[in-house]
Structure 1
């Protein structure tokens, strides 16, 4: 009897398995990096916005507005429950960390230090460049905003009158208050609160996964947001606000690429380049989405990859996403206050500048991690006694400014946990030194545990 060919004895399943092991030939669509998608969205948005404005294509203007509006709407949809459960879980996670009270106090201290540095830079830039001079704008060009902020509103508005309204009206400050109370109560209850904590962690993971899918739409949202801004306002507006716009971008750049690296190298003895390698996905997403809270899952992930313990990250990042705003609450209101004062021909003194610094450090929670910084600006103007009509002068240019402001915010929200961890000797320096950027993939959405 002749020997049988072993191949002939194999089953169809074996044949399919062997076929699966063979490399497939043929054309494969290359994966486009997320940063390239974002850049492409920026370029396409500018082109479509210019085309819609120059050719007066109304339907294109409407489409761009709708696309950008839907993207921001999806981000805001998750904000209220995300903030509540993130703060609640972050506070209860402190029980897993040694020296929790010390870490929390050090975090708050570095939030204040970096805010003071940022507001000082903003004041110096504003005083040197005189952003309100030569713009051609007059007080008549401004209009009072519908909603303004004051210290009374800020202090009395922290405590909600019911548990539903803060979620329906998206009052993030009140949501943070309720979450903090619930978190502290859960800590006091101990084991009795464990079922609620387990449910909260599961809900938070679900929300982060859903938000991660929204984040993947950022390139499309970029087309709508940038295109709508160009189509609505054009380049003439940027010309009038050229000095002011340059001041904001320069101020944020100094903090982002000057102050933060200096703190990393001098205070934490860390390589700043590694920080930006690891944190870049969060920074670029913040630039596009203009939402610190919307970027929070990515910020938390990059901070962990930079070697910060997960238990501490789950507290520091949500806390920072609602209170740490070097761009929106420090640099911007400082320069904006000088701009408005010059337009209305009002002289500011040393006391006013000190008040600006005070508001920036204490009132930054009013900004609440949402797109725009109108509440913080009105709080600053009302404290200085400047006309609220000045807010109307800045609303048109705000979307362009908000991109760099939010990128600075998020970079600071990742920076402080790294600094504190390094100072407290809990930073995994090997992980930090090996941190690299990563692609924003829904499969890698951060989970809270």
Structure 2
């Protein structure tokens, strides 16, 4: 795989077609800058056609990502369950993975609470309870628990209920394992379908520089900079909290728990982190996250289990940092006092209920679940909807970084991490090319 698409077998020495390869991260960064400039022009000079174009480009990019979400989640989770049969100590690895999901989520929510309590994000805002509006859809523990089991096998796919899709995929994967050789044709077909879905998604990911321009430009046109005034402290809190987890907690865990160089992790995981920032979708980023984990030395079969599950249940940004700070913000706007019991409830909801977020853009369901548990007014959700796209970028980037981190940590602790591969990730001859998801090896394979 190479960024330069010229035929490597051509020995003619003709240099007339020599092209300069641009790293994928640079392409995405350029897209962000272009989007900001175009959005500024469209809003400042009221260029309606440009605003419409940015809206359509960003919307189509997100829609293309969502198009593959339902079947991708189903087949990725199902195949990942079956891949555990090829991993030694599979039950132990699965248990440790879930344990570290919860540990890192707990650390993230504590940081979110500390940041919110120190800054008091709602106290300096001009917003009032009258500015809020109750959302059309709210989350509750009853809905969360009863909503796991679907009423039929079609509706979860048509309504994109990721939690129910995960449930069906887990059941199907376990059933395939129990059926043994008789289910091999079904498994082989599922693996083939998954590879086709991943291939198609890679093509969509290649559009990320263009999509990022549309998404950022659309946000500037719709919200401008004036919106940030009333949300300045809250917005800063979310970005600071996520940055502390992303660039503080994660490196410390890598160094102290995994005895690993944190810089190597970011070199390997950065393609997934930057795509998550742009796309705002953990599920849409999942193939890149999985490839990053494998590049960092995580065994392929284990990565094919841990990353898909993380993409639907591991949400340090959306389900830990964000609801903690948002709850404090809403409580201050509505003049509701929170005590130790409420803070403990926030931590509990964040650690246990993060699957409600389900890897999609936005975290409204998780926020309503938190507010309803605390007894805070649901109108508080309406206060945050306008600013949500700006916040969701850093939240999703933090989510995806955590989804790559846990498999690396668990592999290191279980001594199955390829440390030589981890330490040389930046020196790999295809390392630069792998930042451009062109023609990768399938991230999940049942061939062993």
- Select 1:440's aligned residue among 432, 436, 439: 436
Aligned residue for 1:444, secondary structure, equals coil
Pairing 1:332–2:322 present:
yes
- State how far apart, in whole Å, the 2-side matches of 1:379 and 1:232 are: 27
- Select 2:390's aligned residue among 400, 420, 429: 400
CA RMSD of aligned residues (A): 1.2
Partner of 2:83: 93
Question: Displacement, 1:448?
Answer: 2.3
Preserved CA contact (<8 Å) 1:287 1:403: yes
- Select 1:50's aligned residue among 33, 40, 44: 40
- State how far apart, in whole Å, the 1-side matches of 2:235 and 2:85 are: 44
Partner of 1:16: none
Preserved CA contact (<8 Å) 2:205 2:437: no
- Mark the runs of 5 or more structure 2 residues left unpaired by the alignment: 1-8
Q: Which structure has the bigger radius of gyration?
A: 1
Paired residue total: 431
- State how far apart, in whole Å, the 2-side matches of 1:255 and 1:25 are: 47
- State how far apart, in whole Å, the 2-side matches of 1:443 and 1:419 are: 28
Partner of 1:138: 128
Partner of 1:5: none
- State how far apart, in whole Å, the 1-side matches of 2:388 and 2:59 are: 15
Preserved CA contact (<8 Å) 2:300 2:443: no
Preserved CA contact (<8 Å) 2:301 2:444: no
- Mark the runs of 5 or more structure 1 residues left unpaired by the alignment: 1-18
Q: Residues 355-389 of structure 1, C-alpha deviation per residue, up to 9 Å, x if partnerless? A: 00000001000101011111111110111111111
- State how far apart, in whole Å, the 1-side matches of 2:395 and 2:104 are: 14
Preserved CA contact (<8 Å) 2:129 2:333: yes
Preserved CA contact (<8 Å) 1:209 1:445: no
Question: Displacement, 1:27?
Answer: 6.2
Partner of 1:175: 165
Pairing 1:63–2:53 present:
yes
- State how far apart, in whole Å, the 1-side matches of 2:22 and 2:441 are: 19
Pairing 1:83–2:79 present:
no
1:11-50 matches, cutoff 5 A: 21-26=11-16, 28-50=18-40
Preserved CA contact (<8 Å) 1:298 1:446: no
Pairing 1:227–2:217 present:
yes
- State how far apart, in whole Å, the 1-side matches of 2:114 and 2:264 are: 29
- State how far apart, in whole Å, the 2-side matches of 1:77 and 1:267 are: 38
Question: Displacement, 1:28?
Answer: 3.4
- State how far apart, in whole Å, the 2-side matches of 1:442 and 1:429 are: 26
Partner of 1:257: 247
Q: Residues 97-122 of structure 1, C-alpha deviation per residue, up to 9 Å, x if partnerless? A: 11111000000000000000000000
Question: Displacement, 1:445?
Answer: 5.2
Pairing 1:199–2:199 present:
no
Question: Displacement, 1:22?
Answer: 3.0
Given the two structures, how large is their TM-score scaled by the length of structure 2?
A: 0.95
- State how far apart, in whole Å, the 2-side matches of 1:140 and 1:419 are: 46
Distance 1:44 1:445, change over 3 A: farther
Given the two structures, how large is their TM-score scaled by the length of structure 1?
A: 0.94
More off after superposition, 60-69 vs 439-448: 439-448
